[in-house]
Amino acid sequence: MTVIALQRGWARLQVAERGVLVLVALFALLIPFSTPRIYATDEVQYYVYLRSLRFDGDLDFANDYQRFAELNPKSGIDTSLLQPNRVRSATGRYGNVAPIGSAIMWAPFFLLADGLVHVANALGAHVAADGFSAPYTYAVCYASALYGLLGLLLCYRLTRRYASPFGTTLASVTIWLATPLVFYMFVQMPWSHATGFFLVALFLTIWQHTRVPADAALSPQTIRSPRAWIALGIVGGLMTITREQLGLFLIVPAVEALWQYWTLLHTRRQHSGSFWRLVAGHGIFLLAVLLAIIPQLATYYVLNGRPLPASEVGDKLSWCSPHLLDTLIDYDPRPSRWCPLPNDPTAAFPPFAHGAFIWSPVLAFALLGLLLLWRRDHLLAVVFGLAFALQTYINGAFGSTWHLAGAFGFRRLIECTPIFIVGLALLADWAARRLDRRWLLVPALLLVAWNMGLVLNWTLFNAETHLRAGLSWPDLWRWQLDVPRKALAKAGQLLFHRCSLFDNGGCG
């Protein structure tokens, strides 16, 4: 009987963890295809915090920018980061518009690499211990990829509360491989998106795991403990200083708080103990958030002479969000009549060249699936909808850069991946009850193939064409269909000599 019970328990464990194994196996298969390098302006700005603090003991990036410009002469660093207008008049230092959160998250891996370099050199190796050599860049690149995997595993755990193992696995894999997330995990690795995605997934996981169950009354026993509030606040702060717009995910506990206070104030019974425990918890949470963002405020002060972001960030914002809808699909990129943007440089863009739904059609299906969440969890459906709306709003408010031309895909919505996975999983389960679920693999594979074709066209096959400025129709159809032939022709380089395909001195 004991053996039979163990066999049944193992079988149940295998079913429950099969999706996790799929995600880990796919990660292991994809990681050899990665391109660990620190190349152009954005990734350099994220990285130099680590290099400058460790080796120079300061936040003066002049020598760091200059060295990366020498290593990567075609990266544009000398014509952007090293220009006189990037020197802050208040401090005399070169600016850095990248937040410091990614560097904080990468620091353990960077310091481990530094220690291993010194050990290796003591044993007779000759590796440059300067923060520019391969061990250092590899450490942060693979740290970013690992955070992306951890984010996916957290999303899987979160989604399994609402969807079947099949639906959750299909949604996790499809959203991962059919959106820009896969690109920023394995191609342009040392950006903030994979790390930011992990922190958002962790924040939502902590919030969901410690929230009051829908069928439970508010009481001192069901409200979060101080330890849970501290964890939620620290992760929320780190999330915010990894990418400032991720601070808008703090709307999740804010909406929950409004619901809880409304419930307590309108209940027939007096729950003073619950009320004051809730007030204390929110105070602890806000204090933890503040403590977590202090490194960013201090960095702003050292670089800019004030604890505020640089003007390059704030000056881009137009609070009426003139390109709110264009963020999803730019059927007409001209500013709306109710929110005109004078001298909008994007007004002459061709229609349907940008937008999250055009780059990644799977996202439209995922948002459709969120409608099914309302039946299962009203509060989660509301906070997910609001969080996504705020991320879309803030991108549309960047009047001159909403289109993200020059970047692969609509990267500013990558951190909404937990929302997309839940929505797509619910939609997959709904469809599986009406169709043979094997048929669902067909659209999933097509969506993944579309994204992989875009990756190859953007990086290699049509890198110097209009694709860098936006999706070019109808040429894109021909380019996408031609990807298999070109990929076969360059199979050897893609598999074994990828760095030969890039103009970059930092790819090993």
pLDDT digits (tens, 9 = 90+) for 250-283: 999 999 999 988 888 877 555 667 888 899 999 9
pLDDT, position 10? 47
Task: Look at the block and give the residue holding tokens 């109808």.
Answer: 474
Q: Is 238 exposed, middle or buried (0-12, 13-18, 19+ CB in 10 A)?
A: buried
pLDDT, position 467? 66
Closest to 229 measured CA to CA, from 195, 198, 256, 265: 256
Q: Which residues of the chain have pLDDT under 70?
A: 1-16, 214-216, 268-272, 312-316, 335, 463-468, 498-508
Neighbours of 366 (CB within 10 A): 28
How far is it, in rounded angstroms, from Cα 505 to Cα 132?
A: 11
How far is it, in rounded angstroms, from Cα 378 to Cα 446?
A: 32
How far is it, in rounded angstroms, from Cα 230 to Cα 128?
A: 40
The Cα-based distances of 359 to 150, 327, 329, 401 in angstroms read 24, 11, 9, 16
Percentages helix, strand, coil for the chain (3-state, rounded to 5) are 65, 0, 35
**How far does CA 364 lie from the centroid of its chain?**
18
pLDDT, position 270? 54
Pair of tokens at residue 91: 């401090």
Positive or negative, the CA dihedral 263, 265, 271, 272 is: positive
Task: Look at the block and give the residue holding tokens 């020059």.
Answer: 406
